Structure 1
Amino acid sequence: MEALEQRIEALEAKNAFQEDLIEQLNQEITIHQAAIAEMKEHLHLVAQRVKDMAPSNVMKAEDEPPPPHY
């Protein structure tokens, strides 16, 4: 009977440890999800700025001077 009680106590301790670990992992996932969402928003803003800038930085073909051999 004592061996059975020891096994039950060991299982309860293991279960408590696993519950604590799951809670810690859940908190980490929540933090990482928030960081990913923020990075996605920043990436979207940067992509929008690049898209807005791109046409002004590229010369039109007719505005480009001819090559030197012409």
Structure 2
Amino acid sequence: MTTLEDRVMDLESRMAFQDDTIQTLNDVLFQQQQAVERLQLQMAALLKRYEEMVGQYSVSEEEAPPPHY
């Protein structure tokens, strides 16, 4: 049978490993959040550029279709 002291030491050891795991997960989550924010900014910039390009090259609805239609 294990003594109370052994059980407390085991619990303290488990808690230390859990604290380390939680900190590691927190660091990874923080890095992922930064990556998501960068991607959102890039996506917004690309969308803005796309809309500008579409505006430059859009065909006016008043133009008649080409003769072969």
TM-score w.r.t. the length of structure 1 is 0.83
SS in 1 for 2:59: coil
Aligned partner of 1:11 in structure 2 is 11
- The count of corresponding residues between Structure 1 and Structure 2 is 68
* Structure 1: 5+ residue stretches without partners: none
Aligned partner of 1:47 in structure 2 is 47
SS in 1 for 2:3: helix
- Partner AA of 1:51 in structure 2: E
SS in 2 for 1:63: coil
SS in 1 for 2:51: helix
Shift in Å at residue 61 of structure 1? 1.6
Task: Looking at secondary structure, tell me which structure has more helix per residue.
Answer: 1
Alignment identity in percent? Answer: 29
TM-score w.r.t. the length of structure 2 is 0.84
RMSD: 1.7
Moved over 4 A (4+): 66-69
